[in-house]
């Protein structure tokens, strides 16, 4: 239930910890009314975000205790994102909870989508955290060497006479020399002693003269310590110090994954594409595994079944090429490995090594990280993406998500917005955080609400029309491929409309036309943004409009999906874009076509890829072969669904042909020339 007017209320006294609060959301969604005035209801999950949500307590103590209890809770792991500007104490007039009689059937499809979003949210968090935890190959080798040293020292200390055998002594010297060679803390010393091979003789001579260098793994000194009564403990402590120092060095040299990298792409609750592995087929197989492997329970108890699922999915994916494929024997090695049998796993193959890591240690992320370091792995993106998808965001522990959420706040904000856009298909309205204070706000609360935010006056780009301003800036640019950039730029102007601000236009351009040369990280986009920003300053204009939330022309109606299409057609309004190629909402028609049955998600994936192909410019450059009117595009798409050249194609049958014909009819009802 949702209440249009805030009020205070009391909760019945009980033994359960209870701290009343209200959640205020800012949204354009038009929720249906209940049978009581001022009350609405939602039959689906409402996903909140830090820019459009407030948590309002009625008492300072309730707020303080609730926040304290939430500090270590897995369920409130997102709390740090709201703690600065989204949590208040306010006092309203007390009221009893209104009685509402509402009989609403359970929205099963909504629950299924929630499960998918939880899975994909886990995937995204896992992928980004895995990227940020990844090391260089040299550092990964250092981790592996240190772990081998720890194991060897532990074996020596646990032996009956606490001394090493000749093979153990040789191995100890070999591992110490390997670690010294790549120790970042010793690089300065090698400038003076020329080679790492001279290090141990140098240290031995230095010791004879009473010189010691702390925190250096001196091979002879370590061997001497292992044979003494208490020296073994000092060696263990020294190795622990080296491990911590290596982690600190790894963190200092960490390179955060750019949200604009486009490495992973989620559409409508399923993984649509991923581009990380060097083998294209392995990337496509990874997409199939994420979307189709079914996991229920702790990985340690189901790893055999999951390994069988993976092999079965891969067999279906490769089809007739399966028998002679390179991955077939490797997947069989995985099945043997997780069953405790002797297996020859290719630890240099990122996909194979990542699958083994998740199946072997996928119950706890830190043990999985240690396992991968022990195997010499350096890239953890795929492994933690699989871990996240199989675990689900809701089940992720707080210490894991904190690896991302406690980073620089600006970086976290950009990543959060990227995740929200991929999961929900719409950008977050970061300008709609409620500025006005609701009744009952205390001065203290008001100060807290304004903390960390700046107020900007809103000023539309009214001196010169948006299209003239943008085209003037574009004409000022000089690029060899400028002609190819012009057409998508003009299409974006049509979509944004003349009432949009410069920043709103740039947002649409960077989000929807990135595959047409206008990606935010590209030089062309940055140069256009620079010129428009300069011109706005010269004319005394603001780039933004803070008076109302950012709403594109296409979505001005509060209805969504098919309702907005039908509403616009019946009312005679022309809010539809000219071409199905450019309309991101076209997938709503596919999802609303009940005749498709179980094919909906598969056809949506094909459509998204098909749409991107048209937008990329290829079909625009071959106008004689591919005409651009809606009828031809729809016809081409429907044929492409069955084409064997389409790796995601659906099987041809009379039933499937009838389903696609029904979809074609619906598409042409809306997209007609």
- For position 6, what pLDDT does the model report? 87
In this structure, the strands spanning 53-57 and 87-89 are: parallel
Contact between residue 335 and residue 308 where contact means Cβ atoms under 8 Å apart? yes
Residue 40's DSSP bridge partners are 2, 33
Element (H, E) at 88: strand 87-89
Q: Residue 68, Cβ neighbours under 10 Å: how many?
A: 9
Nearest to 292 by CA among 275, 278, 308: 308
Contact between residue 423 and residue 117 where contact means Cβ atoms under 8 Å apart? yes
Q: What phi, psi does 519 have (nearest 5°)?
A: -60, 145
Return the SS3 of 300: helix
Return the CA Rg of the chain: 30
Reduced 3-state DSSP string for 467-502: HHHHHHHHHHCCCCCHHHHHHHHHHHHHHHCCCCCH
Q: What phi, psi does 317 have (nearest 5°)?
A: -70, -45
- For position 184, what pLDDT does the model report? 64
Distance CA 650, CA 601 (A): 11
- For position 381, what pLDDT does the model report? 96
- For position 289, what pLDDT does the model report? 97
- For position 537, what pLDDT does the model report? 53
In degrees, rounded to 5, the angle at the alpha carbon of residue 120 between the alpha carbons of residues 115 and 123 is: 130
Q: Is the pTM here over 0.85, yes or no?
A: no
Residue 634's DSSP bridge partners are none
Mean pLDDT by 10 residues, the chain (673 residues): 88 82 90 88 92 91 87 85 83 81 86 95 97 92 93 88 86 87 66 61 68 65 76 83 87 85 90 91 96 93 96 96 95 96 94 98 96 95 97 94 91 93 87 45 33 33 64 78 80 72 78 80 83 64 40 30 40 49 76 81 84 63 57 87 82 88 88 71
DSSP class of residue 55?
E
Distance CA 627, CA 26 (A): 43
Residue 450 to residues 25, 434, 537: CA-CA distances in angstroms?
17, 10, 26
Distance CA 177, CA 182 (A): 9
The token pair at 64 is 């303080």
Contact between residue 411 and residue 431 where contact means Cβ atoms under 8 Å apart? no
- Residue 379 makes CB contacts below 8 A (sequence gap 6+) with 134, 350
Distance CA 50, CA 453 (A): 13
Q: Is the torsion defined by CA of 509, 267, 52, 495 positive or negative?
A: positive
Q: Residue 230, Cβ neighbours under 10 Å: how many?
A: 7
Residue 423 to residues 189, 346, 521: CA-CA distances in angstroms?
50, 34, 22
DSSP class of residue 9?
-
Contact between residue 9 and residue 94 where contact means Cβ atoms under 8 Å apart? yes
- For position 561, what pLDDT does the model report? 39
- For position 583, what pLDDT does the model report? 75
- For position 373, what pLDDT does the model report? 95
Contact between residue 271 and residue 287 where contact means Cβ atoms under 8 Å apart? yes
Return the SS3 of 33: strand
Contact between residue 57 and residue 82 where contact means Cβ atoms under 8 Å apart? no
How many Cα neighbours within 13 Å face the side chain of 596? 21
Residue 400 to residues 46, 387, 404, 409, 534: CA-CA distances in angstroms?
25, 11, 8, 17, 42
Distance CA 138, CA 293 (A): 34
Residue 469 to residues 106, 529, 605: CA-CA distances in angstroms?
50, 12, 36
- For position 444, what pLDDT does the model report? 34
Q: Distance between alpha carbon 194 and the CA centroid of its chain, in Å?
A: 46
């Amino acid at each position: 239930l949702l209440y249009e007017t805030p009020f205070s209320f009391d909760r019945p006294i009980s033994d359960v910890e209870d701290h009343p609060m209200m959640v205020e959301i800012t949204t354009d969604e038009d929720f249906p009314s209940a049978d009581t005035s001022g009350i609405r209801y939602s039959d689906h999950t409402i996903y909140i975000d830090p820019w459009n949500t407030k948590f309002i307590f009625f008492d300072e103590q309730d707020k303080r205790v609730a926040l304290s209890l939430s500090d270590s809770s897995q369920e409130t792991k997102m709390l740090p994102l709201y703690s600065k500007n989204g949590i208040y104490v306010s006092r309203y007039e007390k009221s009893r909870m209104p009685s509402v009689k509402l009989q609403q059937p359970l929205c099963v499809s909504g629950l299924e989508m929630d499960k998918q979003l939880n899975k994909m949210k886990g995937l995204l968090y896992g992928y980004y955290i895995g990227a940020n935890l990844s090391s260089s190959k040299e550092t990964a080798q250092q981790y592996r060497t240190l772990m081998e040293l720890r194991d060897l020292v532990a074996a020596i200390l646990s032996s009956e006479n606490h001394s090493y055998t000749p093979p153990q002594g040789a191995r100890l010297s070999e591992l110490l020399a390997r670690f010294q060679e790549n120790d970042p803390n010793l690089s300065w010393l090698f400038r003076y002693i020329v080679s790492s091979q001279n290090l141990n003789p140098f240290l031995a001579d230095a010791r004879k003269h009473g010189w010691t260098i702390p925190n250096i793994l001196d091979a002879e000194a370590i061997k001497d310590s292992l044979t003494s009564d208490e020296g073994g403990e000092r060696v263990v402590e020294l190795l622990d110090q080296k491990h911590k120092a290596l982690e600190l060095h790894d963190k200092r040299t960490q390179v955060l994954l750019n949200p604009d990298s486009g490495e992973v792409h989620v559409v409508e609750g399923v993984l649509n594409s991923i581009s990380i592995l060097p083998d294209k087929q392995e990337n496509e197989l990874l997409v199939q595994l994420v979307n189709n492997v079914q996991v229920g329970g702790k990985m340690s108890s189901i790893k055999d079944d999951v390994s069988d699922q993976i092999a079965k999915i891969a067999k279906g994916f490769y089809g007739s090429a399966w028998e002679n494929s390179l991955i077939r024997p490797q997947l069989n090695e995985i099945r043997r490995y997780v069953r405790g049998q002797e297996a020859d796993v290719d630890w240099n193959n990122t996909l194979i090594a990542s699958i083994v890591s998740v199946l072997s240690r996928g119950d706890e992320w830190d043990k999985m990280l240690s396992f991968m370091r022990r195997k010499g792995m350096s890239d953890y993106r795929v492994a933690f993406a699989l871990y996240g998808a199989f675990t689900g965001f809701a089940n992720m522990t707080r210490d894991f998500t904190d690896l991302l959420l406690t980073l620089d706040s600006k970086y976290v904000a950009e990543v959060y917005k990227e995740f929200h856009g991929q999961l929900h298909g719409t950008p977050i309205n970061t300008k709609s955080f409620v500025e006005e204070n609701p009744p009952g706000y205390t001065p203290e609360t008001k100060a807290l609400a304004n903390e960390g935010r700046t107020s900007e006056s809103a000023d539309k780009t009214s001196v010169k029309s948006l299209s003239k301003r943008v085209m003037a800036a574009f004409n000022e640019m000089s690029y060899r491929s400028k002609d190819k950039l012009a057409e998508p730029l003009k299409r974006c102007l049509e979509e944004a409309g003349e009432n949009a601000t410069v920043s709103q236009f740039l947002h649409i351009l960077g989000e929807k036309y990135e595959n047409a040369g206008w990606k935010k990280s590209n030089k062309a986009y940055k140069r256009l943004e620079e010129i428009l920003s300069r011109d706005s300053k010269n004319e005394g204009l603001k780039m933004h409009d803070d008076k109302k939330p950012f709403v594109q022309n296409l979505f001005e109606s509060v209805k969504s999906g098919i309702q907005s299409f039908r509403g616009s057609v019946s009312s005679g309004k022309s809010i539809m874009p000219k071409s199905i190629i450019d309309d991101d909402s076209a997938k709503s028609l596919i999802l609303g076509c009940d005749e498709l049955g179980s094919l909906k998600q598969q056809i949506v994936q094909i459509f998204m890829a098909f749409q991107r192909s048209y937008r990329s410019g290829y079909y625009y450059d071959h106008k004689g072969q591919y005409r651009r009117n809606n009828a031809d595009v729809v016809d081409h798409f429907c044929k492409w669904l069955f084409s064997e050249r389409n790796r995601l194609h659906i099987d041809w049958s009379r039933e499937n042909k009838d389903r696609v014909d029904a979809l074609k009819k619906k598409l042409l009802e809306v997209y007609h020339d």
